[in-house]
Amino acid sequence: MSRHASRRRLTLVSLAGVGALAAAGISLLPSMASAAPCADVEVVFARGTGEAPGLGITGTPLVKDIKSALPGRTVSSYAVDYAANFSQTSAGPGATDMTERVKSTAANCPDTSLVLGGYSQGGSVTDIALGIPTRLGTGRTVPAGLADRIKAVVVFGNPLRLSGRTIASESELFGIKTKEFCNTGDPVCGNGRNSAAHLTYHLNGSVEQGARFAADRIARG
């Protein structure tokens, strides 16, 4: 094989490897990611069960509305990396990922304010990360020393309510900073029978209210 052909083959193999890693969600540029400028605010959000990776149907508009409510400030977002599976066994690993993101952002961006949140199973992710025991597993929790960095918590359709509890009732550190939404009839948080009620938080004004709550707390410092 000629030298030219050999180099061409290596290039193609390398490109194939890059494509495979990218498909698996593995970044090849950690130094570039870590070099990104720190935002004034970062929203760390866990999507609901069965949603595709990303911020989901409530997290996406929540971030957008927080940005609109904080003109002149930069707002970034982080989608919690977890399975969001139907067996409801991924909340613990999700909480660990949320916690590690909080710790990383707090260490690398000392002036960045944090907003945490989740929808459906993502609410359980948030509960566990805040140190609240649930029936959906265990994971790493946010160190108490970083509580001041978290300015607001916003959750939608949180299964914690099925046990008669809320973040406000269970957490002295985060209860006052939390806005919780549970639609009437929602079977996931309200023990109701209206499945559609669980799917309309982004349509009934709840997301906008949650964004205003978070923005107001950030504006107050």
Which residues are identified as catalytic? 120, 186, 198
| Cβ-contact 181, 157 below 8 angstroms | yes
| Cβ-contact 136, 129 below 8 angstroms | no
Dihedral sign computed on CA atoms, order 61, 99, 25, 33: positive
Measured from the Cβ of residue 16, the count of other Cβ atoms closer than 10 Å reads 10
For tokens 């996931």, the residue is: 188
Burial class of residue 43 in the structure, from the number of CB atoms within 10 Å of its CB (0-12 exposed, 13-18 middle, 19+ buried): buried
Rounded to whole angstroms, how far apart are CA atoms 36 and 33? 5
